[in-house]
Amino acid sequence: MRVFVTGGTGFIGSAVVADLLAAGHEVLGLARSAASARALDAAGATPHLGSLEDVESLRTAAARTDGVVHTAFDTADLARFVEAGRVERTALEALGDVLAGSGRPLVVTAGFAFLTPGSVATEEYTSTDPASPVGRAAEPLARSMAESGVCTSVVRLPCVHGTGDRFTVPRYIDVARRTGVSAYVGDGLNRWSAVHHTDAARVYRLALEKAVPGARYHAVAEEGVPFKEVARTIGRRLGLPVVSTPPEEADAHFGIDSYFAQADIPASSALTRERLGWEPTGPTLLADLDRDGYYAA
Ligand SMILES: NC(=O)c1ccc[n+]([C@@H]2O[C@H](COP(=O)([O-])OP(=O)(O)OC[C@H]3O[C@@H](n4cnc5c(N)ncnc54)[C@H](OP(=O)(O)O)[C@@H]3O)[C@@H](O)[C@H]2O)c1
């Protein structure tokens, strides 16, 4: 297939590009700068100049390809999350306009934030409660697009780790360095589900190749890793004390990263494994966190 990938220079998108190319697909990658175009070219993809804000660039690329994988998102500044979500919505709507009725697949990235804390999330779960959205708007939007004739499927991502990670775990390494302790909240038994980025990339490719409208997949290798174990590994690697922070002090300690430090969001991938024949093979979160690469200055 000829596949248009957004975010192909990012941590997850670059693994998706590599996996697609290795499986024999051709990749057209969205590039919003000359540096990104060079990176895509070096990876073996064809750069397509444009951005999520430039919806005409998205329409043109979607019209020239057999399917789309969307991983781009402005993750650089969490304070701009709402604006980034708005940009993503408009971009997805533009892609959906081009793909509607064609049967050509659009695979969309979603997450587990705010997903039924305390219970193991399955692929069957969808939130209908507007007060507990399933991550940001991408997932509900993909669902409604599937109902109106776009072949969308959703890949829900947990904590994704691996070489080039700059989104989740590195933030907690930064907090530990800044505060001089590696902290967890309360008993620290709240769980994170996790996956290595190369395993996640395979879920995107299989979802694209399968092209089942309205499907939801969990790129989850580990159902629930206690946050205390994450904090312990970070503390050991940095030579810092590992301490419990009372819940009422978590916001002051972790700042904007307080939500995920306390989040209990275990997730299963039993249905994804069955439906896609997917089996993760990459390192576990704790093994990966023991790599020097995570602690380079
Ligand atoms: N990493 C995780 O643990 C994790 C967990 C759950 C969900 N997710 C989701 O997975 C997706 C990818 O995350 P990531 O960790 O791979 O992020 P990342 O490394 O920051 O990559 C973001 C990608 O999006 C591109 N991008 C950002 N804004 C853009 C815009 N306005 N127009 C065009 N391209 C734009 C970037 O291009 P440039 O190279 O040009 O900057 C880059 O290729 C995001 O939706 C994120 O929320 C990630």
Ligand 1 centre distance from Cα of residue 71 (Å): 6
With a Cβ cut-off of 6 Å, ligand 1 is lined by 7, 9-13, 30, 32-33, 36, 51-53, 71-75, 87, 109, 111, 157, 159-160, 166-168
Residue by residue, DSSP assigns 180-216 as: SSEEEETT---EEEEEEHHHHHHHHHHHHHH--TTEE
pLDDT at 167: 82
Q: Give the CA distances from residue 19 to residues 5, 32, 215, 297, in Å, rounded to whole numbers and listed in that order.
A: 12, 22, 21, 29
Residue nearest to atom 33 of ligand 1 (CA): 51
Q: How far apart are CA 92 and CA 226, in angstroms?
A: 34
**pLDDT exceeding 90 applies to what percent of the chain?**
84
Count of residues in the chain: 297
- Looking at domain 2-160+195-221+266-280, its CATH architecture is 3-Layer(aba) Sandwich (3.40)
pLDDT band at 132 (very low <50, low <70, confident <90, very high): very low
pLDDT tens, 203-247?
A: 999 999 999 999 999 999 999 999 999 999 999 999 999 999 999
For 151-174, what is the mean pLDDT? 94
Average pLDDT score, the chain: 93
pLDDT at 80: 78
In the predicted model, is pLDDT for residue 130 greater than 60?
Answer: no
Label residues 170-184 b or e (16+ Cβ within 10 Å = b).
ebbbebbeebebbbb
Q: Give the CA distances from residue 143 to residues 81, 94, 114, 134, 154, in Å, rounded to whole numbers and listed in that order.
A: 21, 15, 18, 11, 8
Residues facing 191 on adjacent strands: 226
For residue 135, which of 160, 163, 110 has the smallest C-alpha distance?
110
And the tokens for 76?
């650089």
pLDDT at 24: 98
Element (H, E) at 13: helix 11-22
Ligand 1 centre distance from Cα of residue 82 (Å): 15
pLDDT at 297: 67
In the predicted model, is pLDDT for residue 95 greater than 90?
Answer: yes
pLDDT at 131: 46
pLDDT band at 200 (very low <50, low <70, confident <90, very high): very high
pLDDT tens, 145-154?
A: 999 999 999 9
pLDDT at 133: 44
Ligand 1 centre distance from Cα of residue 113 (Å): 16
pLDDT band at 156 (very low <50, low <70, confident <90, very high): very high
Ligand 1 centre distance from Cα of residue 171 (Å): 15
Residue nearest to atom 3 of ligand 1 (CA): 160
